[in-house]
Amino acid sequence: MNKAKGSIFLLIAALIWGTAFVAQSVGLSNIGNFTFNAIRNYIGALTLLPVIFIMSKAKKEEKSVAKYGNKTLIIGGIACGCALAIASSFQQMGIAAGAEPGKAGFITALYIIFVPLVGLFTKKKPRATIWLAVLLAVIGMYLLCVKENFTLEMADVYLLCGAFSFTFHILTVDKFSPLVDCVKLSCIQFFVCGTLCMICMFLFEEPTLATIKLAAVPILYTGIMSSGVAYTLQVVGQKSTPPTLATLIMSLESVFAALAGWIILHQAMSLQELIGSALVFAGIIIAQVF
H or E, element range at 31: none
Give the C-alpha separation, 106 to 116, whole Å: 18
What is the percentage of the chain residues whose pLDDT exceeds 70? 86
Confidence of residue 64 (pLDDT cuts 50, 70, 90): very low
User: Which range of residues forms the domain containing residue 106?
Assistant: 2-289
Residue 171's pLDDT is: 83
- Phi/psi of residue 105, each to 5°? -65, -45
Mean pLDDT across the chain: 83
Give the C-alpha separation, 279 to 269, whole Å: 14
| Residue 66: exposure state from Cβ atoms within 10 A (0-12, 13-18, ≥19) | exposed
| Cα–Cα separations (whole angstroms), residue 63 to 59, 66, 180, 246, 286 | 12, 5, 10, 25, 36
Q: Is 146 left (phi over 0), alpha (psi -120 to 50) or beta?
A: beta
Residue 202's pLDDT is: 94
Residue pLDDT, tens place only, 241-262:
766 567 667 777 878 888 888 8
Q: Which residue has the higher pLDDT, 9 or 191?
A: 191
Residue 4's pLDDT is: 77
Residue 34, pLDDT above cutoff 50: yes
Q: Which residue has the higher pLDDT, 221 or 55?
A: 221
Residue 203's pLDDT is: 95
Half-sphere exposure of 45 (CA within 13 A, CB side): 18
Residue pLDDT, tens place only, 66-85:
455 688 999 999 999 999 99
Rounded to 5°, the CA angle 274-264-288 comes to 45
pTM (two decimals): 0.82
Q: Which amino acid is at 139?
A: I
- Phi/psi of residue 113, each to 5°? -85, -35
- Provide the 3-class DSSP secondary structure of residue 97: coil
Residue pLDDT, tens place only, 86-111:
999 999 999 988 888 878 888 887 87
Give the C-alpha separation, 108 to 92, whole Å: 11
**Tally of domains within the chain:** 1
Residue 59's pLDDT is: 61
Residue 136 and residue 286 in contact, taking contact as beta carbons nearer than 8 Å: yes
